[in-house]
Structure 1
Amino acid sequence: MTVDRTPNRLRTAAISLAGLTAFGLSACGTGVSTPDEPDTAAAEGYPVTVENCGEELVLEAAPTRLVGLSPSQTELLVELGLTDRLVGQAQTDTHPLPEQVQAEVADVPELSDVAPPTREVLLEAEPDFVYSPTTYEFTTEQGFASIEQLAEVGADAYVATGGCPERRSQGTVDDLFTDIENLGTIFALPDRADEMTEEGQSRLTAVEEAIEGAEAPSVAQLYVEGATLMAIGGGIEYDIIARAGGDNVFDPDEAAFSDFFAATITPEEVTSRDPEAIVFSVNDADHEEATRDYLAQTFPDVAAVSEDRLVAVPASDLFPGTLGNIGAVEHIAEGLHPDRF
């Protein structure tokens, strides 16, 4: 198998390739003042501690000025009931929010559209809590604020569990529930967090029961961008295929995926494995059409293409720490087992 593990922003934006870099370099001056200390009433029941990316995150009070560094994170904060605390949303053009959520955040400032906000823009929003899907959004080499720089102005940073560097290749859908629980603790909203977890687990159980006993078709999970063909062999995406009742033809135990959950491959590699279904992630309608054309032209004799068993999934539903993970399981299961739904 031809393998290219060189990280780039295309992969990060398209299929949320997280954990590519370290947490950032030393801080530099920003000229932004530290947010005011919370009052005594706001700090009742604190401090609280949660584990995030192998480190303890200690909060002395519930954060009041929040930034979601991707629509997925913004949506989760809204669903927790924290809309009135949002002071910024980022990467807003990477995928659309549900209509109801769009309406709720209509007045929340947009800090960036297709890339994370620069250090200056993020710090000007004066957040005290920043929620990110990956560690990429904190790389100083890209001009973003590091976790250390945020700490200097009194802002805590939380990375989706599945987007932590040490977790990205082994992540599962259950990582989402870890995030919900942690956020419930951080914001003193345990009841709402429990409700969201119960609802999500109920949806996953419904899929499991629907496909029980069904034969698992072989599945290749791919991402196509221009002439680049990538296969997914680990991480949350791999777990989503398994929960949807598919048998991924690419495996975490393969050398190509020993260090990273995705790898660039040749078309011949897909042809040789002849998957019965192909699941592919897309950024928008044009990207889906282009990918379908590519698959039809490149793999006319592969079973998945000849039998038209192709399942497109919004790339955003595969991001770490997003409710879309559950929707992806449901959507793919319907595509793989239409007779069960």
Structure 2
Amino acid sequence: MTDPRPASGKRTSAAAALTALAALALSSCGTSVSPEAAPQGTAQEGYPVTVQNCGTELTFEAEPTRLVGLSPSQTELLVELGQADQLVGQAQTDTDELPAELSEQVADVPVLSDSAPPTRETLLEVTPDFVYSPTTYEFTTEQGFASTDQLAEAGANAYVATGGCPERRQSGTVDDVFTDIENLGMVFAEPERAAELAGEGQERLAAVSSAIEGAELPTVAQLYVDGTTLSAIGSGVEYDIILQAGGDNVFDPDESAFADFFAATITPEEVTSRDPDAIVFGVKDSEHEAAVRSYLTETFPDVTAVAEDRLIAVPGSDLFPGTLGNIGAVERIAEGLHPDRF
């Protein structure tokens, strides 16, 4: 599972159970980038560039040079696009660990926050001109964060991962990340690297699809466990990850429980009644994974997933919108669901 916050920034009772975890192909609800002809006398060739993001136009008069990633997942993508030297801040660093080779590149980048988004004052203090976020929650003033308007007044464009936009949070797909890669490649004048990165991701997904072609789809419950509070995931990019991994999710976007949010608090009896062949669950770290496995084993001894030991843990950060980890999650889950195909 990924971001536990509603796109509006207001927490729901379902979100409260999920806060410990913390939070595409082009479509009519997606985003797009279009380079505009640079006016005579402009300092940088190829600019301005305009991005359609979450229904809003972001215009870049020049290449951004002071960047902030509001989660490790977003920081990772910025580094992969060659922007490590332009980072002036990274945030929510406790929610995930960057791969070693990337972590070294941001070792000197100031940490603005650990387990929650940075406050408005902390973010504005580093004077960014580009802020990349997984969802719109990171810009809610009610939580003490800088709004997109406040960032704009300070000279910074705020870009939200396509799958984290309010209109996409319920229907996002793994392919949304390719829209973000294309967009950011244009914004940072790195179209070739963006194309290479997208191509690598698409090849990985195609390899999974080829490997599981014709396989019987096991039923899957995607859960998040916080202590003894149980939540089910029924829509959004998380749902599509299960689909692309060759699973048949027992919770469906058409259910009323997921009409307004991608997750819902459920009772253990609900899981038992649906008797999934496998259970996929998001985790923060190894300690959290061990606790969840223990809970599932003790609570659902007769459920097929537990009885046949098909409990598949996925780093929660790999389920955030706008992250390359979405692809890794598809691979990991597919291997757990179809071990004979890999």
1-side partners of 2:279 and 2:319: how far apart?
15
Report sequence identity in percent: 75
The 5 A counterparts of 1:134-213 are 134-213=135-214
Instruction: Find the counterpart in structure 1 of residue 116 from structure 2.
Output: 115
Contact (CA 8 Å) 2:310, 2:336: kept in 1 or not? Answer: yes
Which amino acid in the other structure matches residue 63 of structure 1? P
Which amino acid in the other structure matches residue 6 of structure 1? S
Secondary structure at the counterpart of residue 13 of structure 2: coil
Contact (CA 8 Å) 2:17, 2:229: kept in 1 or not? Answer: no
2-side partners of 1:157 and 1:13: how far apart?
25
Which string of whole-angstrom CA distances, capped at 9 and with x for unpartnered residues, describes residues 192-222 of structure 1?
A: 1100110000000000000011100000000
Instruction: Find the counterpart in structure 2 of residue 6 from structure 1.
Output: 13
Which amino acid in the other structure matches residue 136 of structure 1? Y
Is 1:91–2:92 an aligned residue pair?
Answer: yes
Contact (CA 8 Å) 1:231, 1:250: kept in 2 or not? Answer: yes
Contact (CA 8 Å) 2:18, 2:231: kept in 1 or not? Answer: no
Instruction: Find the counterpart in structure 2 of residue 128 from structure 1.
Output: 129
Give 1:43 shift: 2.6
Contact (CA 8 Å) 2:14, 2:265: kept in 1 or not? Answer: no
2-side partners of 1:332 and 1:191: how far apart?
30
The 5 A counterparts of 1:205-284 are 205-284=206-285
Give 1:57 shift: 1.2
Instruction: Find the counterpart in structure 1 of residue 65 from structure 2.
Output: 64
Give 1:162 shift: 0.6
Instruction: Find the counterpart in structure 2 of residue 33 from structure 1.
Output: none
Instruction: Find the counterpart in structure 1 of residue 80 from structure 2.
Output: 79
Secondary structure at the counterpart of residue 154 of structure 1: coil
Which amino acid in the other structure matches residue 127 of structure 1? P
2-side partners of 1:264 and 1:165: how far apart?
21
Contact (CA 8 Å) 2:68, 2:128: kept in 1 or not? Answer: yes
Instruction: Find the counterpart in structure 1 of residue 104 from structure 2.
Output: 103
Contact (CA 8 Å) 1:42, 1:62: kept in 2 or not? Answer: no
1-side partners of 2:112 and 2:339: how far apart?
41
The 4+ residue runs of structure 1 with deviation greater than 4 A are 7-10
Contact (CA 8 Å) 2:130, 2:157: kept in 1 or not? Answer: yes
Contact (CA 8 Å) 2:22, 2:95: kept in 1 or not? Answer: no
Q: 1:8 to 1:336 in 2, by over 3 A?
A: closer
Which amino acid in the other structure matches residue 202 of structure 2? Q
Which amino acid in the other structure matches residue 129 of structure 2? D
Q: 1:154 to 1:7 in 2, by over 3 A?
A: farther
Secondary structure at the counterpart of residue 11 of structure 1: coil
Q: 1:15 to 1:300 in 2, by over 3 A?
A: farther
Moved more, 4-13 or 211-220: 4-13
Which string of whole-angstrom CA distances, capped at 9 and with x for unpartnered residues, describes residues 153-179 of structure 1?
A: 100000001111111110000100000
Q: 1:224 to 1:42 in 2, by over 3 A?
A: farther
Which string of whole-angstrom CA distances, capped at 9 and with x for unpartnered residues, describes residues 29-86 of structure 1?
A: xxxxxxxxxxx77532111111111111111111000000000000000000011100
Q: 1:333 to 1:42 in 2, by over 3 A?
A: farther
Give 1:15 shift: 5.2
Instruction: Find the counterpart in structure 2 of residue 34 from structure 1.
Output: none
Which string of whole-angstrom CA distances, capped at 9 and with x for unpartnered residues, describes residues 63-119 of structure 1?
A: 000000000000000000011100010111111110001100001111111111111
Moved more, 280-289 or 7-16: 7-16
Contact (CA 8 Å) 1:5, 1:263: kept in 2 or not? Answer: no
1-side partners of 2:106 and 2:264: how far apart?
36
Which string of whole-angstrom CA distances, capped at 9 and with x for unpartnered residues, describes residues 294-327 of structure 1?
A: 1011100000000001100000000011100000
Which amino acid in the other structure matches residue 318 of structure 2? D
Q: TM-score, normalised by structure 2?
A: 0.90
Give 1:11 shift: 2.4
Instruction: Find the counterpart in structure 1 of residue 51 from structure 2.
Output: 50
Instruction: Find the counterpart in structure 1 of residue 295 from structure 2.
Output: 294
Which consecutive unaligned segments of at least 5 residues does structure 2 have? 1-10, 24-40
Which amino acid in the other structure matches residue 188 of structure 1? A
Which amino acid in the other structure matches residue 18 of structure 2? R
Which amino acid in the other structure matches residue 336 of structure 1? L
Which string of whole-angstrom CA distances, capped at 9 and with x for unpartnered residues, describes residues 112-143 of structure 1?
A: 11111111111110100000011111111111
Which amino acid in the other structure matches residue 205 of structure 1? A
Give 1:12 shift: 4.6
1-side partners of 2:44 and 2:13: how far apart?
45
2-side partners of 1:15 and 1:237: how far apart?
14
2-side partners of 1:282 and 1:291: how far apart?
8
Contact (CA 8 Å) 1:15, 1:281: kept in 2 or not? Answer: no
Contact (CA 8 Å) 2:241, 2:326: kept in 1 or not? Answer: yes
Which amino acid in the other structure matches residue 254 of structure 1? E
RMSD of aligned Cα (Å): 1.4
Q: TM-score, normalised by structure 1?
A: 0.90
